[in-house]
Structure 1
């Protein structure tokens, strides 16, 4: 039964609907105006209360009237009222939105966009409603796209394209089926003439580009035309998009079009279609800014632009006296290429002539101010064309160019290596083992252990891991390493836990195995390396059926299948174990080659790294590639050391540019009685074989030569970031002996399975905030111990022992060390990631060097107390 209140509300709604059905256009418009005044912003519940659960009936009438309005071409102001009323319903609840779609609402809104006589305000309202629909979910976005929505949206006039762009961005998110269609719709919008819309569309394309991950060639022409815009904000967005597109497949076409855009009109190049009528616009000075930005960002882009003939066009632009801004930007872009590539410098010097070239090198930015007509004609008539991008390499001074020198260098280095090499276990395996699988595995293990670790430290660990005769031998072959965790799981299964372990117990068994690896690895550092060895073995033997238990036989295979293997490790393993003719560039080799070829640029930069690999691949001995690579490393470790290099003992001294420079400076000082030998800096000594003798080469030292460093001027590295400073308060917690225990027990906590020292064991520790006073240290440790073992240490047992400093590669850690004790009734299994161990077991456990330093301090302090 209805209440009287509900009957009154129903009667009111029926009256409103009757009035709507009987009213003319003016009456209905008045009713809609009243509806908007009373109901704008209301929720679904409030609307249903207003219409006595019959709101859908009113929504149906509004939609029907809007369709009738469209068919009769009687638009006026009624359509805007209808759209605003619909917005009230669609914004309130998904229920109304579904009913609207069932009535063909999307097609109706798209018809609004398609009518040329409808006002732009009404179209903006329709676009806003489509955006509400699109933001409701993926299937609604697909409905819009399937209704040819892109055609109508991208055809919007200037005033509505701002809203159209926002709608397209909404359609791109979470709509994989139609992302390409949305992307092409945005590209079509780039051809509009409204600067505000251009800027918004460019921003939207950049956002959608990340989602789509690909680009279409249709974007090239409209994007480049936007570089002509007189609005800086549009130019900026266009430049940023061009830079981002360098990572996509349209890069070659984009660079070609960018260069083509610069061709003078007299060469018969057609104007671009979109800006065909913009004859008054100046040449694309922004393009020259783009060239400079792209070239400075990546070397391969620079070389590709050189190959496309950009140098010729830059010179022509410098000769265009009608446009000073273009001259200036072209001159700055050309300066980058000239100073980066000697081959470009040579061609430009010839094209300009000595006098003009000297002026250009002196101040490229202001050259346009002094360029006369004769010089301009000379620049416009240039015939510069560098055919091969490969020729745009750094100066030959930094390379090995003579085959005779390479041959002599190889023979001298290998003769020294045969006489002076250290006897290392992995080298013995590489030379004597006939099984390529065992040989590759052994060298792989050694290279992983040697990462960031000294050779002397690695030998014992390598023997523990590899040698079959060693008591602690675990995994001498890749099959045994891969099967290790399986054996742990099998032993647990056979001990009575059932035919198979659940996933949680299987994972726990794997953790036990990794703990075993960590214990063997303890003290070697970078503990994730041991896990990666195991993961790689699993891939070789278990996961990848195509490998069939055999180690990869190519550098590409080593890179692809073995976790943690990079370019150096693949080159080292491939050449040493498999005899592949490939270089291997590590820290020692970098130092040796930088000194040999006087490479003074940042040795960590991609420019220098690529050059070093190119040199190494060139000079590697094809008959003995593995021994040659080891010889270079050995030379860096024993002779060409970071500090105190032994140049007098170097077998390739006569090939070393850095050493020759030292000798030349010494000879010059000896001949000049006025020279100051105590001066730290000295200008570069003229050298007939030096690289150009000026600052144009990016591989030469950018700073002055330091006399006191000698050959140690090379290599140059960036200033290292200071390590993060941390203070930890830590406790050596001792459990007093019970009748069943022969020696005291110490508490260890296991670290998380990821991050720093993953899976290792440590003493209870807390990271200290800067403002925590010393008097609170004991309270913090007491609370932490209480959490782990269920009881607090005896207050009287707390002793301050001192501080221990331990330095990681990126963290400077100081431990504030205390000792304490708890009673024998402690809940020892309270915390799963904790355990009590004896002093002897602790030394063998998987603990870091920092923990061993702390225990050393503890034992020393305990001994002193006992002595007193």
Structure 2
């Protein structure tokens, strides 16, 4: 911890800050489904879902997830396909794969009880410092820091911290700061209050300082530099990839889908036959050639793409030009390809981009 931060902490009326923050949270917290229960499993599920995803998006997923997998044991027993399907559309699928592996480990190694120590819980797959701190504090009342980008933004302003929050090494500075100021009598409310403050008041671009319950403690507000913080370097430019895809229907009304590789982007999800190709002049020709060589099918494609889908990842953007087509005769597919009916197709987990493709196809051909 640097000298300036140590000085700022010493000058802070920590007890009053804790009281103001926690009482505000008790009074103003949003009515969210995961706040109705401090069950460690439910807290864990919510925290994983909320990583890089908006609260409004998470709520229906959380409710569906717990309806299907109400206990840690039921989730541990689930097959991979049903796990990916329940997560379909939420993105960042490695989150749910890691959660599934970790829950299985809790069942086999910890008799179904989520560990309540930092050492043990941090050993579970996909449980980093933030998730560990959130579960320990919210479910078990352990005064452990739960520091994410939201919390770093809030504390950078309150404590006037100018370190770059984009650097991984900076997190430790904020974790040390939280250990100094956390309300040990109410660690669950304290950590949730910091998160709530960042979501509702201390927002990234236009903080509502006049409504802030801890404005009197905020050094950035006092200095008039609240909009200059946090310091965060820009991300590197994203890569763009152009793709071609085909929705192929057989004479008996089945569709070809394929499973993505078990590692890498969107691992183990299903999609329509797709190839990377930026040839905008001969898209149809390129796609026919790919289908012939890759799947060994002679397809009949419409002359133009019926939909163009743009999709944005954190590090990558896609533009997918999609053609509708038909295939006839005998079809011999490799094991990562399947022929499925419309009903069967909708039971498989697809990434958002290919869900969009399927929706557009059904609308165009009135399925």
Per-residue CA shift, 1:652-679, capped at 9, x if unaligned? 11111222222xxxxxxxxxxxxxxxxx
Q: Match of 1:526?
A: 92
1:590–1:463 Cα change, 3 Å: same
Q: Match of 2:20?
A: 412
How far apart in 2 are the matches of 1:830 and 1:724? Answer: 32
Q: Match of 1:424?
A: 32
How far apart in 2 are the matches of 1:590 and 1:814? Answer: 34
How far apart in 1 are the matches of 2:269 and 2:32? Answer: 29
Displacement after TM superposition at 1:451 (Å): 1.4
Correspondence for 2:327 among 813, 822, 844: 822
How far apart in 2 are the matches of 1:445 and 1:606? Answer: 24
SS at 1:747 equivalent:
strand
CA contact (8 A) 1:553 1:578 kept: yes
Question: Which structure: larger Rg?
Answer: 1
How far apart in 2 are the matches of 1:846 and 1:527? Answer: 11
Displacement after TM superposition at 1:396 (Å): 4.3
Equivalent positions of 1:785-800 (< 5 A) are 785-787=291-293, 790-794=296-300, 797-800=302-305
SS at 1:794 equivalent:
strand
Q: Match of 1:692?
A: none
Displacement after TM superposition at 1:608 (Å): 3.2
Matched, 1:774 2:281: yes
Per-residue CA shift, 1:35-73, capped at 9, x if unaligned? xxxxxxxxxxxxxxxxxxxxxxxxxxxxxxxxxxxxxxx
How far apart in 2 are the matches of 1:844 and 1:656? Answer: 51
Correspondence for 1:638 among 185, 190, 200: 200
How far apart in 2 are the matches of 1:852 and 1:604? Answer: 33
1:773–1:800 Cα change, 3 Å: closer
Q: Match of 2:82?
A: 516
Displacement after TM superposition at 1:785 (Å): 2.9
How far apart in 1 are the matches of 2:194 and 2:344? Answer: 42
Displacement after TM superposition at 1:585 (Å): 0.5
1:398–1:644 Cα change, 3 Å: farther
SS at 1:816 equivalent:
strand
Per-residue CA shift, 1:759-795, capped at 9, x if unaligned? 0011111112x5x4522x2233223333565431125
How far apart in 2 are the matches of 1:398 and 1:634? Answer: 26
Matched, 1:550 2:113: yes
How far apart in 1 are the matches of 2:208 and 2:98? Answer: 37
CA contact (8 A) 1:783 1:792 kept: no
Displacement after TM superposition at 1:555 (Å): 1.4
1:798–1:518 Cα change, 3 Å: farther
Equivalent positions of 1:601-750 (< 5 A) are 601-605=163-167, 608-662=170-224, 711-736=226-251, 738=252, 744-750=253-259
How far apart in 2 are the matches of 1:723 and 1:575? Answer: 36
SS at 1:720 equivalent:
coil
TM-score, normalising length from structure 1? Answer: 0.40
How far apart in 1 are the matches of 2:365 and 2:207? Answer: 44
Matched, 1:483 2:81: no
Q: Match of 1:541?
A: 107
SS at 1:645 equivalent:
coil
1:845–1:398 Cα change, 3 Å: farther
Q: Match of 1:458?
A: 58
Displacement after TM superposition at 1:839 (Å): 4.2
SS at 1:401 equivalent:
helix
1:831–1:420 Cα change, 3 Å: same
Q: Match of 2:270?
A: 761
CA contact (8 A) 2:201 2:207 kept: yes
Displacement after TM superposition at 1:617 (Å): 1.1
Structure having greater relative contact order (Cα 8 Å, sep ≥ 6): 2
SS at 1:716 equivalent:
coil
Q: Match of 1:71?
A: none
Per-residue CA shift, 1:389-412, capped at 9, x if unaligned? x7xx33147732147x11111111
1:635–1:819 Cα change, 3 Å: same
Equivalent positions of 1:520-599 (< 5 A) are 520-542=86-108, 544=109, 547-560=110-123, 562-599=124-161
How far apart in 2 are the matches of 1:396 and 1:601? Answer: 11
CA contact (8 A) 2:239 2:317 kept: yes
How far apart in 1 are the matches of 2:111 and 2:255? Answer: 46
How far apart in 2 are the matches of 1:837 and 1:525? Answer: 24
How far apart in 2 are the matches of 1:642 and 1:752? Answer: 37
SS at 1:422 equivalent:
coil
SS at 1:855 equivalent:
helix
Q: Match of 2:338?
A: 835
Question: RMSD of the alignment, in Å?
Answer: 2.3
CA contact (8 A) 1:798 1:821 kept: no
Displacement after TM superposition at 1:629 (Å): 0.2
How far apart in 2 are the matches of 1:564 and 1:842? Answer: 30
* Structure with the larger helix share: 1
1:784–1:717 Cα change, 3 Å: same
SS at 2:285 equivalent:
helix
How far apart in 2 are the matches of 1:653 and 1:840? Answer: 55
How far apart in 2 are the matches of 1:802 and 1:626? Answer: 48
How far apart in 2 are the matches of 1:639 and 1:425? Answer: 21
CA contact (8 A) 2:84 2:269 kept: yes
Q: Match of 1:445?
A: 45
CA contact (8 A) 1:843 1:852 kept: no
How many residues are treated as equivalent by the alignment? Answer: 367
SS at 1:718 equivalent:
coil
TM-score, normalising length from structure 2? Answer: 0.92
1:399–1:733 Cα change, 3 Å: farther
| 5+ residue gaps, structure 2 | none
Matched, 1:600 2:162: yes
Q: Match of 2:8?
A: 399
CA contact (8 A) 2:309 2:321 kept: yes
How far apart in 2 are the matches of 1:802 and 1:483? Answer: 39
How far apart in 2 are the matches of 1:814 and 1:718? Answer: 27
How far apart in 1 are the matches of 2:74 and 2:169? Answer: 42
How far apart in 1 are the matches of 2:351 and 2:236? Answer: 24
CA contact (8 A) 2:5 2:159 kept: no
SS at 1:651 equivalent:
coil
1:412–1:539 Cα change, 3 Å: same
